[in-house]
Amino acid sequence: MKKQNHINFITVVLFFGVIATLMIYFGISALLQTESGDRLNAAIYESDRLGEIIDNLNFKLFKEVDDDNVIVGSDRFLFERTNGENGYSYLRDYRGEASFSPAELELMRQSIEERRTAYENGGAEYLLVVIPNSITVYSENMPFHYGKLSENTRLSQLSEYLSESETDCFFNATDTLISAKNKGQLYNNTENSLNALGAYTLYISLLEQIAKISGTEAIGAVPVPDFHSRLDIGKETAQKAGLQNLALNLTISMSSPPTTLYREGADYQSLGITKMSDALSELGIMLEYNDDWFRVILEPYFSNTFASVAYKQNLMFSEFANSKSAPSIVIQLIYEYELESLLDEKTALTYGAGTKSEGTLLRTPRPTILGSAHMDADSVCIFGMAEKRSELTLKTSDGRIISQSVPSGQFFIRVDIPEELDSVKVDISAKNGIKKASSPVSLMVVRDENAPTANVEIGKNSELFAAKYPIDLVSDPEELKSKICKDPYIVRLQQITEKPTEYVQVIVPSKLTVRADDAPSYLMPTVQKLSELRRAAMGLEEFGVCVIDATAALCEKDRFDMYCLTGDIPTALGAYEIYRTVAAALGFFVPEGEPSLSSSIILGGKFISALGLDPTVFSELSESCEAPSDSVELTFYGKADLAQKYRAKNKNASLPTAIIIHDEYGTEAARYLCECFGEVIVYAESDFRIDAEDLAELKPDYVIKIVGENNMLTQ
C-alpha cells in the first residue's frame, strides 16, 4: 500500500508539475505579448519560437513538414507532390496514374515533328531533350509506402511511343543520369533541379547526341572540373515549406569554374548569345528552355565548347532568334514535369512561322496564325503571317465579316466577342490580287474575364497603335510652351562650354501622326493634340533653340516601312530619314538617294510587350539600312548597344563636335547623325541629364535632343 501511495504521489506531482510549468511558461508568454486580444491563445498558437520547435520536431521525428505538397524522402531529399505552376502531379505520375492517352501521345509526336520541320526549314537540326524529375532518378529515396516508380510514367510512355514511331529527335536523359549516380549526387536534394555535376553529366551526354546529329566525330569536351560539396540552406522546395534552415541542400558546385574563353554577345531580353573563337567545335548551338537555371549550369560548358551558343528562355519558334544566332542545332531542354507543354497550343502556333505553306501561282497561300492575345476581357488580337500585300477576310461564327490588309506580310486583326457569347470561332482566308482566295484557317477565341486591358489598338493595314497616348495633360499649348521654355537651359549650357553651343531640338512624330489615315477614328482628337504640341514646341525658337520637326519629311515618304508595325518608333529607314532632315537643317552633307537596304528581323515593338507577348518570339520583319560610311568608330562606355552611352569619332576630325541626348524615337537616328560630327557623345536612351564634365571636356558645338512628340511632356 505504501508503494502504491508512492506511485500515486509521484504521478500527481509530475502531472501537476507539468500543468504548473505550462501555466507559468504560457502565462509569462501571454503577459509578454504586446498585441491585444486573446493573449494566452496567441502565446500558444501563434508563438514563432514554439512553432519553430514544433516544425523542427515534426521534421526530425516524423519526417513531416507543414506543407501538404512536400514529401520528405531519405538522404535529405524533398520532393513535391504537385507542381505549383502547371498543376502537374509528380506523385500521380510516379505511380503511373497520370498516363497520356494514345491521342495525346500522337499529338505530342506531331508537335515534335512540327518543331523539327520548322527548324530544318531554317537549316538547323532539332533535338528535344527531357530531363527527368529528381523523383524519377532518386526514386529509391521516396518513402517506402509510395511504392516503386511505375513503369508507366508519362516520360516512359512518350519515350516508348516515339521509339516505336521512329522519331529520332528525342533524347530521354533518364538512363544517362541514373547510370551516373555513382559519381555523386546529380540533383539538388531540396529542389527539382540538376546541380553542377548533373549538368556536366548532361553536357557530356548531349555532346554525344550533337556529334551523332551533326555527323561529326566526337566533339572535344571541357575537361572534368573539380567538384566540391557543401551544405547550404534549403532550396526552392524547402523554402516553400519554410524549412530552408532545417532541410539543408547538399550543393555540388565546381571548385573552380572552367576558364571563360568565350565572350558575351548581344542580349535580347529572352535571348542571349555567346561567341567563341577557336572553339572546340565550330557548330552553332541554340539551347531553348523554360527554366533559366539551365543557362546557369550549362553555360560554362557549352559556351566554352561551341563557336556560338544562343540561350533562349522559351520554347516558341522565333525567326528573330534564328536570324541572330543562325544555329546548326537547336536543342530544347524540358523537364519531365513539363511534358504537357508539348501540347501547348500557343507554343505550337508559333511553329507555323517555320512551316508555312508556300501557295501556288493561282492560289494565295493559307495565312499562318502565330497566336492570339487578349486586348481586354472580350477583345482578342489575332496575329500571324500572310502573303505580302494580300487582303484578309475573317468570318466569325456569329456571322460577322472583318477585313484587313497585309502590306508587310504580318497581320493583326481585332475580334470582339459579343456580350451574349463566351467564345467565337473565326475562319481567316487570304486573297492576293487576281489569285484565288486561300483555304481558311480557323481559331477559337474565348472570353477571359481576367484579361487586363492592353494599351494597344489595331488600325488599318495591320498597324498597331497605342489606345491612349500620355498627352492628356496638354489642355493648353501656351501652357506647354511656358513649361518647356522657362528653364534657362541654353544660358547655362554656353557658360559651361564657354562657346556659343547650339541647342537643337529634334521632334520625331509618333506613328499616329504619320499614319493617321490608318488609325481608328477615335484617335483623331489625339492626332490634333499632337499637332498642337508640335506647334507649341516650335515656340522654343524664341529662346534661341533650333527646332527641327521631322514630321513633314516622314509624312512625305508615304511608306509602310518608315515605322515599326508592332511599335511606335521609326524603323532604321525612318531613322535614316530623320538623319537626313536634321543634317540638311544644320547645313551638313546630306547623302543623296536611297540608302542600301537589307531585310532583317527585329524584336517585336512595345505593343507586342503590351499584349503580354515575348518580343523575341513575336518579332517583326523590317528593312534596315547600312550606315552611310565606315568612317565612324564607336566606343561604348559599357555594353555594346546603341541604346547605351557611347562615343563616336569620325576620321574627319575637322567636323564639329556634339552631344546627343535622345529617347527611343531617336536611338537609330542618333547613330546616323554621328556621321556629321568629328566627335560625338551619345547618351543612353532616355538619359537627359548631361554631365558637366562631358560638356567641359568635349565643348560641343551642338547639343542635340531627339525625342518623340508625345514624349515631350513626360521628360
Partner 1 sequence: MYLTAPAFLFIAFPLFTAIYALVPRSVKKQALAAFCPLVYMLANIYNPFSLIFLVLTVIAVYLGTKWIDMLRGRRRGIVAAVFVAVLIEIFVSLRVLSAFGISPVGYPFGASIWLLAAVSCIIDVKRGDAPPPTAVDAVLYISYFPVMLVGPIVKYRDSLELFRAPEMTLDRLARGAEYFMLGFVKIFAVTLPVFDILGSIFDNIEMGFGIFATVEFIVLINIGAYSAFSGYSDMASGVSLIWGIELPKNFARPFASASPFESLRSFMITLYDYLRDYLFLPLLGRKKGKLRRAVAFAGCFIAASFWLRSSLWMTAFAIVCSILLGAFFVRSSGGKRSRAARVLGYILTPVCAALFWSIAMMPNGMPNMSFFATVFESFGKPGSISVLGSVSAEKYIFTLLTAVFLLLISERAQKNVLTARDDIGKIISNAVLLLLFVFAVFFVFPQYPQIAGVGLEIL
**DSSP output for 142-187:** S-GGG-SPPTT-HHHHHHHHHHHTT--SEEE-HHHHHHTGGGS--B
Q: What are phi and psi of 293, to 5 degrees?
A: -60, -30
Residue 46 vs 113, nearer CB to partner 1: 46
CA 620 to chain CA centroid, Å, is 15
* Comparison of 150 and 531: residue with beta carbon closer to partner 1: 150
Q: How far is the CB of 395 from partner 1 (least distance, A)?
A: 41
**DSSP type of residue 26:** H
Instruction: Map residue 669 onto helix, strand or coil.
Output: helix
The CA angle 376-379-382, to the nearest 5 degrees, is 115
CB of 26: closest distance to partner 1 in angstroms? 5
Report, in Å, the least distance between residue 65 CB and partner 1.
9
H/E stretch holding 19: helix 2-32
Query: Which C-beta is closer to partner 1: that of 14 or that of 224?
Result: 14
Beta strands at 227-232 and 249-254: parallel, antiparallel or unpaired: antiparallel
Neighbouring residues of 140: CB distance < 8 A, sequence distance ≥ 6: 74
Bridge partners of residue 549, in order along the sequence: 507
**Smallest distance from partner 1 to CB 42, Å:** 10
Residue closer to partner 1, measured from CB, 79 or 677: 79
Instruction: Tell me how far CA of residue 659 lies from CA of 155, 250, 329, 655, 702, in angstroms.
Output: 59, 54, 44, 13, 6
Beta-bridge partners for 436:
363
Considering the complex, state which of residue 16 and residue 637 has its C-beta at the smaller distance from partner 1.
16
3-state DSSP assignment of residue 427: strand
Q: Is-contact 206 191, C-beta < 8 A?
A: no
**5/450 with CB nearer partner 1:** 5
CB of 299 to partner 1, least distance (A): 39
- Whether 248 and 224 have beta carbons less than 8 Å apart is answered as no
**Can you say whether residue 278 is alpha, beta or left, with left for phi > 0 and alpha for psi between -120 and 50 degrees?**
left
Nearer to partner 1, 60 or 639 (CB): 60
Closest CA to 309 of 216, 207, 193: 207
Q: Which is nearer to partner 1, 138 or 294 (CB)?
A: 138
Closest approach, Cβ 226 to partner 1, in A, equals: 38
**Closest CB 154 distance from partner 1, rounded Å:** 14
Classify 548 as helix, strand or coil.
strand
Residue 27's contacts (CB-CB under 8 Å, 6 or more residues apart) are 40
Count of H-run helices and E-run strands, the chain: 22, 29
Contact 577, 557 (CB under 8 A): yes
Q: Which residues pair with residue 126 across a beta bridge?
A: 330
Task: Specify the residue, 17 or 418, whose C-beta has the smaller distance to partner 1.
Answer: 17
Residue linked to cell 555567346 = 274
Nearest distance, CB of residue 453 and partner 1, angstroms: 38
Rounded to the nearest whole angstrom, what is the least distance from the CB of residue 250 to partner 1 in the complex? Answer: 21
| Residue closer to partner 1, measured from CB, 65 or 611 | 65
Collapsing DSSP to helix, strand or coil, 234 comes out as: coil
CB of 48 to partner 1, least distance (A): 11
CB nearer to partner 1: pick between 12 and 231: 12
Q: HSE-up of 315 (CA within 13 Å, CB side)?
A: 29
- Residue 103 CB, nearest distance to partner 1 (Å)? 21
Instruction: Report yes or no: 516 and 574 within 8 Å, Cβ to Cβ.
Output: no
From the list 593, 601, 597, 533, the residue with the least C-alpha distance to 564 is: 601
- By beta-carbon proximity to partner 1, the closer residue of 23 and 524 is 23
Nearer to partner 1, 143 or 488 (CB): 143
DSSP of 64-93: --S-TTEEE-STT-EEESB-TTT--BHHHH
Distance of CA 376 to the CA centre of its chain: 21
Choice between 93 and 299, CB closer to partner 1: 93
- Taking the CA atoms of the chain, what radius of gyration do you get in angstroms? 32
Measured CA angle at 505 (ends 504, 509), to 5 deg:
145
Binding site for partner 1 (CB under 8 A): 1, 3-5, 7-9, 11-12, 14-16, 18-20, 22-23, 26-27, 40-41, 44-45, 47, 50-51, 54, 57-58, 61-64, 72, 91, 95-97, 143-147
Closer residue to partner 1 in complex, CB, 145/486: 145
- Cα–Cα distance, 120 to 351 (Å, whole number): 12
Grid cell 524519377 in the structure block, residue: 136
Neighbouring residues of 598: CB distance < 8 A, sequence distance ≥ 6: 623, 624, 625, 626
Q: How far is the CB of 79 from partner 1 (least distance, A)?
A: 12
CB of 46 to partner 1, least distance (A): 8
CB of 22 to partner 1, least distance (A): 6
Strands 441-446 and 457-458: unpaired
Q: In the complex, what is the shortest distance from the CB of residue 101 to partner 1, in angstroms, rounded to a whole number?
A: 16
Count of alpha carbons within 13 angstroms of residue 57, beta-carbon side: 6
Give the C-alpha separation, 604 to 234, whole Å.
Answer: 39
Question: By C-beta, is 14 or 444 nearer to partner 1?
Answer: 14
Nearest to partner 1 of 50, 590 (CB atom): 50
Q: Which residue has the cell 472580350?
A: 378
Q: How far is the CB of 83 from partner 1 (least distance, A)?
A: 18
Question: Shortest approach of partner 1 to residue 8 CB, angstroms?
Answer: 3
